[in-house]
Amino acid sequence: MSRAAELITFNEATSAEAFASRFGATDDATARLLSAAVGHVHELIKEFRPTPEQWRKVLDFLTEVGHASDERRQEWVLFSDLVGASALVEEINSRRPAGATPNTIRGPFFRADTPQRALGSSISLDDAGEPLLVEGHIEDLDGLPVTTAEIITWQANAEGYYENQQPDLQPEFNLRGLFRADQDGKFQYHTVRPAGYSVPGDGPVGRLFAQAGYPLHRPAHLHFVVRAPGFETITTHIYDADDPRLGEDALFGVRPELVQPFDRAMIDGKPTSCVSVRFVMVRARQGRSK
């Protein structure tokens, strides 16, 4: 039978099948994913039945997102984050045994060149905000300390801004640090209590979601990357239990085990918040990131 004879007439009932048939018989993963994605788009069009003018507005939005993306700003990543796609990909690819610390998305403000700092030192270079003491313990699933662990941490300041959002207002590498766990798998550092914030709302993605009434809030949190030879790397958050918007995290990162109280105490005669964190690592398996 000729290739032409195999083609399916395109109509409302057969649109997705007609598209998929152009690939022929293939096991190519990209072709299968593309066929499935197009099939879902066709189903949405059939369900909502947009006019050509309404569909053009969709295309105009996609075009605007592309124009707003460059090496400093990625609106497509923001879109992926806000619809939960980034969180879902992370969830599927980093499933761990019960008791292990779950992964969350890294977010856009990570810096790979974060400087190493001494245990017990401060990552707040301008001392702007309420003092916060962070104490942590890293162990494996058997409760044994991971003494070779490195901890990278970064956070927003007391006004909800990261250092690389305000290069003219905050010191370079403010509220960032790389620490190495001690012989007991523990680490400690000083910082300031972070504030929650809204994700960027001045671009096409933020404007669309705000217009739809979608919450763009991120509750107050600390970011961590924990890595050690022979273990899967943990990329995660610790959330402030007092933040009233824990249920509205725009990036779907909040998990019950990642919410911790930021208690208040007097340290060296000063009111200071304190948080204790515990990260449980799992041994790296073949084919998994280390």
pLDDT per residue over 68-127, tens digit each? 887 767 889 889 999 999 999 988 988 899 999 999 999 888 999 999 999 999 999 999
Quickly state the pLDDT bin for 202 (edges 50, 70, 90): confident
- Whether 108 is covered by a domain: the verdict is yes
257 plus 165 within the same structural domain: yes
17 plus 143 within the same structural domain: no
Residue 27 belongs to domain spanning:
3-49
State the helix-helix crossing angle for 52-67 and 204-211, rounded to 10 degrees: 130
- The pLDDT of residue 286: 67
Higher pLDDT pick, 8 / 149: 149
Q: Give the β-pairing of 131-140 and 270-281.
A: parallel
> Is pLDDT above 60 for 49?
yes
14 plus 91 within the same structural domain: no
- Whether 93 is covered by a domain: the verdict is yes
For 268-285, the pLDDT digits (tens) are: 888 899 999 999 999 997
Alpha-carbon span 210 to 214, nearest angstrom: 5
Joined tokens for residue 114: 């974060």
- The pLDDT of residue 69: 83
153 with 176: CB under 8 angstroms? Answer: yes
- Whether 250 is covered by a domain: the verdict is yes
133: CATH: 2.60.130.10
- Whether 67 is covered by a domain: the verdict is no
- The pLDDT of residue 127: 93
Q: What is the mean pLDDT of residues 46-71?
A: 91
Give the total number of structural domains in the chain: 2
